[in-house]
Amino acid sequence: MSAETVGRGEHYAANGTRGDVVLRIDGSKPLTTESVAAVEAACSAAESDTSTTMLAVQVTGTPGKDWTYGLEVALVSKWERALRRLERLGVTTVAVASGDCGGLALDVLLATDYRIATPDVRLSLHVDGDATWPGMAVFRLAQQSGGNRLRRAILFGAPLDAQDSLDLGLVDEVTDDLATALTATAEMVGGLSGRELAIRRQLMFDATTTSFEDALGRHLAACDRALRRSATTRTP
């Protein structure tokens, strides 16, 4: 775990949250084993405290031209597995994005549940020599949005500013008042079950690749689970 990327009680932590783990990702930094460890450590910290309902994530920065120099696909694979764990975490993940966001910062942002951006945010894929970096950010961008502006971003590395990102649904709100936005988000998710959230999130992911007939059984199982849970907590 890196002290630079995982902290407790820092100024981006939302008031009112019971858990106070904050994951910070600087997109200007190269992908290293420490980057993977930071994401894994934040996930473990959030999961180990049953009172935690929200993991705050701060992302900013974009990589330089030599970002992929010396990078090996085995490390990229470990990074993508860490992102997948973050994406399927049993608590709500809330990101705050500011300034230029690319590389690791964009990867992490796209793996979170709720995204707050400052007006100066610009999302962009890293251009590696003669093309954009073909990591799973391309998959998540295409899965989560569409349109001409996104195509230009994926194919040519064209930045998406705050309004573009909001219009494309890549961020949920744009504000200068991050503390108020985080506190409101914490209040919104505070009463929700992280375990149930993970089930709804997976149903949402599966909806883009699963037929109605195949999805029906999973949704009915989730409905049955919800009904059983409600029955045990209902007052006669």
Token pair for 185? 């988000």
**pLDDT of 2 above 80:** no
Q: Global pTM? A: 0.84
pLDDT (tens digit, 9 = 90+) per residue, 150-202?
899 999 999 999 999 999 999 999 999 999 999 999 888 888 888 888 999 99
Task: Give the model confidence (pLDDT) of 5-16 as tens digits.
Answer: 444 333 333 333
Max avg pLDDT among 123-132, 165-174, 195-204, 218-227: 165-174
**Cα 58 from Cα 121, distance rounded (Å):** 12
Tokens of 80: 């993508």
CA pair distance 13, 28, nearest whole angstrom: 22
Going by C-alpha positions, the residue among 88, 90, 92 that lies closest to residue 80 is 88
pLDDT at 19: 53
Whether the predicted pLDDT of 148 surpasses 90: no
Structure tokens at 154: 């994926």
Q: Which stretch of 74-88, 121-135, 155-169 has the lowest confidence by average pLDDT?
A: 121-135
